[in-house]
Amino acid sequence: MAEMLLEARDLHTYYGSSHILHGVSFSIRKGEALGLMGRNGMGKTTLIRSMLGLVRPRHGTVRVNGDDMTRAKPHRIALAGVAYVPEGRGIFPNLSVRENLLMAARAGVDGRREWTFERVMETFPRLGERINNGGGQLSGGEQQMLTIGRALMTNPDLLILDEATEGLAPLMVKEIWKVIRTIRDTGIATVVVDKNHSAVTALTNRSVILVKGEVVFDGPSEQVRQDPALIRKHLGV
């Protein structure tokens, strides 16, 4: 079995007095593709933010490659090989596509540089056509590609994509799913958060479903695909 990459145990996270995560445990191994699903407001983004040091859980532990990162700052977790593509993108609008990508470039944890500027250009030919455009001049879909490309330039072991297709035109959505599949096939572990459960389960080998800050399902994505009652009950479709 592949070694553990990221592991959270018994996380309790609060926003003010609101108790959002109720003892959530979550893990992903090297090379694994995992879908994180649940209706809006069920704690998916809070879970991600709690594991990445962006929100501090009140209780529980987070480990990356076996090292305790429960109190670590986000940049330390990023340097441990975890890349995050947040909802809302977060590119630098005044920098060109080239500058946005090059500023993120670094070797992976083990010194490898498989994701070079050239490889990102091959993966996202559309960005190549707009290489000197400012980030703010790109369409929503192109900005999303740039955000994913920038994450890949850090040569991560794990890529977390939070609602990567949100608000995009159908054609662009199709393109983003294709890119995520390509990334998965290179062996980078991926966590995909998206409302489209059929696309998520087709792309991942394992699924985790959250309901009101608790894990109600953690198992094969195939099982979710073949259980309409489970989908109706927890994903509201």
Distance in angstroms (rounded) separating the CA atoms of residues 117 and 123: 10
- The alpha-helical segments, DSSP class H, found in the chain are 44-51, 74-79, 97-102, 117-123, 125-128, 140-152, 170-185, 197-203, 221-225, 228-235
pTM: 0.95
pLDDT at position 1 over 90: no
207 SS3 class: strand
Residue 2 is predicted with a pLDDT of 77
Question: Looking at domain 4-235, which of 1.25.50.10, 3.40.1790.10, 3.40.50.300, 3.60.15.10 is its CATH number?
Answer: 3.40.50.300
Task: Tell me what the pLDDT averaged over the chain comes to.
Answer: 94
- Quote the CA–CA distance of 115 and 120 in Å, as a whole number: 7
Closest residue by Cα to residue 229 from 202, 209, 212:
209
CA-to-CA separations, 163 to 61, 86, 91, 195, in angstroms, rounded: 25, 8, 16, 7
Cβ atoms of 71 and 133 closer than 8 Å:
no
Q: What is the pLDDT of residue 54?
A: 95
At 39, the pLDDT band (50, 70, 90 cuts) reads: very high
Residue ranges covered by each domain of the chain: 4-235
Quick check: 190 pLDDT over 90?
Answer: yes
pLDDT at 148: 96
Question: What's the confidence (pLDDT) of residue 90?
Answer: 77
- Percentage above 90 pLDDT, the chain: 92
With a cut of 80, say whether residue 89 has pLDDT above it. no
Q: What is the mean pLDDT of residues 1-6?
A: 89
pLDDT for residue 10 is more than 90: yes
The burial class, CB within 10 Å (0-12 / 13-18 / 19+), for 119 is: middle
**Angular region, 31: left φ>0, alpha ψ -120 to 50, beta rest:** left
Mean pLDDT of 17-22: 95
Question: What is the Cα–Cα distance from 200 to 22, expressed in whole angstroms?
Answer: 24
Nearest CA among 61, 4, 53, 58 for reference residue 28: 4
Q: Looking at residue 237, what is its pLDDT?
A: 59
Sheet containing strand 189-193, strands side by side: 82-85, 158-162, 189-193, 33-37, 206-211, 214-220
Distance CA 71, CA 65 (A): 15
Is the pLDDT confidence value at 88 over 80? Answer: no
Torsion sign across C-alpha atoms 43, 48, 50, 51: positive
Q: Which of 127, 192, 135 is nearest to 158 (CA)?
A: 192
Bridge-based pairing state of the strands 82-85 and 33-37:
unpaired
Mean pLDDT of 35-45: 94
The predicted structure's pLDDT at residue 224: 96
